[in-house]
């Protein structure tokens, strides 16, 4: 028997609310993971739909009313959206396990001079532009954009194609042959914010924003 066609909300009991959340961050650890877990436990009567998308896509879908709230790196890019700063995370360098810099507890940006930086055209949450701005005094040998998600990008690092970057929220995932090292001077470099439409009056949205504010 095939599954019925339609949207998830078409099959939801009338007395249940739904909150559509867009995230441009890893959920393997960190504040956002804890926020979603806490909200799920505190609001069992709300069906939560989570979409993991690039930051600009999250902002666009919130603006169009396709998502109720987004949690993204940096603030809203549209004046049509309300935005509120939440928390900040550290920047980490993603290195092959046998890389010479992997022996250090933290990485001095100057020591990355001459490395190949692998980036993703999918943006991976907006962290990449922050990382590159932090390396203005350490010009890289090459910046190599790829059509890759986080898993593929980090596996390319493990295979020796270059180094990458991430925020602290991705440190809960294990990738064979990869290590994470904090970037010196970037302990609070990645700002995360909630963004939503001011005309969205959902009680579930107000509850989620309250939980987000109390999480830091």
Per-position b or e across 9-19, b if 16+ CB within 10 A of its CB? eeeeeeeebeb
Write out the two tokens for 132.
């590159």
User: How far is Cα 71 from Cα 39, in angstroms, rounded to an integer?
Assistant: 14
In degrees, rounded to 5, the angle at the alpha carbon of residue 96 between the alpha carbons of residues 95 and 97 is 105
Q: Which comes out higher in pLDDT, residue 159 or 137? A: 159
The dihedral built from the CA positions of residue 111, 113, 114 and 115, taken in this order, carries a sign that is: positive
User: How far is Cα 32 from Cα 69, in angstroms, rounded to an integer?
Assistant: 13
What are the C-alpha distances in Å from 40 to residues 2, 121, 157?
Answer: 29, 31, 34
Domain with CATH 3.40.190.10 in the chain: 17-88+191-213, 91-182
The pLDDT-based confidence of 199 (bands split at 50, 70, 90) is: very high
What are the C-alpha distances in Å from 114 to residues 96, 109, 155, 174, 179?
Answer: 15, 11, 21, 27, 19
Among 2-16, 67-81, 130-144, 200-214, name the one with the lowest average pLDDT: 2-16
Query: Which residue, among 145, 191, 149, 140, has the nearest Cα to 167 in the 3D structure?
Result: 191
CATH superfamily of 91-182: Periplasmic binding protein-like II (3.40.190.10)
For range 21-47, the mean pLDDT: 93
Choose from 70-79, 110-119, 151-160, 179-188 the range with maximum mean pLDDT.
Answer: 151-160
Q: Looking at the domain 17-88+191-213, which fold is it?
A: D-Maltodextrin-Binding Protein; domain 2 (3.40.190)
Residues forming a β-bridge with 71: 23, 194
What are the C-alpha distances in Å from 157 to residues 34, 188, 205?
Answer: 28, 24, 38
Largest CA distance in the chain: 61
The pLDDT-based confidence of 40 (bands split at 50, 70, 90) is: very high
- Cβ-in-10-Å burial (0-12, 13-18, 19+) of 40 comes to exposed
The pLDDT-based confidence of 149 (bands split at 50, 70, 90) is: confident
For range 49-73, the mean pLDDT: 92
Would you say residue 176 has pLDDT above 90? Answer: yes
pLDDT at position 203 is 94
- pLDDT by residue (tens digit) across 4-33? 444 444 444 456 799 999 998 889 999 999
pLDDT at position 119 is 84
């Amino acid at each position: 028997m095939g599954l019925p066609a339609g949207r998830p909300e078409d099959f939801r009991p009338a007395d249940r609310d739904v909150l559509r959340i867009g995230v441009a961050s890893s959920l393997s650890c960190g504040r956002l993971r804890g926020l979603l877990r806490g909200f799920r436990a505190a609001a069992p009567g709300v069906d939560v739909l989570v979409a993991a998308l690039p930051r600009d896509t999250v902002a666009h879908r919130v603006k169009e009313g396709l998502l109720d709230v987004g949690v993204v790196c940096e603030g809203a890019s549209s004046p049509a959206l309300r935005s509120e700063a939440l928390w900040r995370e550290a920047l980490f360098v993603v290195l092959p396990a046998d890389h010479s810099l992997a022996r250090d507890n933290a990485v001095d940006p100057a020591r990355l001079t001459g490395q190949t930086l692998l980036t993703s055209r999918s943006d991976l949450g907006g962290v990449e532009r922050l990382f590159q701005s932090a390396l203005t005094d350490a010009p890289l040998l090459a910046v190599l954009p790829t059509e890759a998600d986080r898993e593929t990008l980090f596996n390319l690092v493990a295979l020796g194609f270059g180094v990458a970057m991430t925020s602290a929220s991705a440190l809960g995932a294990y990738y064979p042959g990869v290590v994470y090292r904090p970037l010196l001077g970037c302990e609070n470099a990645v700002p995360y914010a909630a963004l939503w439409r001011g005309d969205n009056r959902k009680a579930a949205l107000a509850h989620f924003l309250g939980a987000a504010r109390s999480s830091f």
